[in-house]
Copies of this chain bind each other. A is one copy, B any other.
Amino acid sequence: MESDPGFVAALEEAKQGYAEGGVPIGAALVSKDGKILGRGHNMRVQKGSATLHAEMSALENSGRLPASAYEGATMYTTLSPCDMCTGACILYKVKRVVIGENKSFMGGEEYLKNRGKELVVLNNEECKQLMEKFMKEKPELW
């Protein structure tokens, strides 16, 4: 599953965020037939944004889609989703959330399960190392 195009895209986005001096979290929204609908990364630093976390950026970059586009979709994210991004996954009725890691931060995983979402935690080393590096280098941003 770490070779899924959606996860590869999410990880690329996280690295892009790091390269921009931002919070290195990436995400990609993938339709049930495997098409990447949108991808993005956390823009808190780059845009001074309070809402553009990685998953929100991926949703926003997917544009305004009909409800059917989200059916059976998967949200790939490099880090366990916060309460807001958890709620966004529920609002858009994605079927599955694939999470790079949840050691740096544990978000709304229990609630996602309670609301019927499939959850996969990859425990991916690259995601963890990226976050660890960032938190060490820029603790004031985390």
Q: How far apart are the CA atoms of A24 and B108 in the complex, in Å?
A: 30
Question: Which A83-108 residues sit within 8 Å CB-CB of chain B?
Answer: 83-88, 90-92, 108
As a 0/1 sequence over residues 98 to 128 of chain A, the CB contacts with chain B under 8 angstroms (1 = contact) are: 0000000000100000000000000000000
| Interface residue tally for chain A (C-beta within 8 Å) | 24
Cβ–Cβ contact A56 & B48, under 8 A: no
Segment at the interface with B among A3-11, A12-20, A61-69, A130-138? A61-69
CB-CB nearest 3 A-B residue pairs? A87-B87, A83-B90, A84-B88
A interface with B by C-beta (< 8 Å): 44, 48-52, 56, 59-60, 62-65, 82-88, 90-92, 108
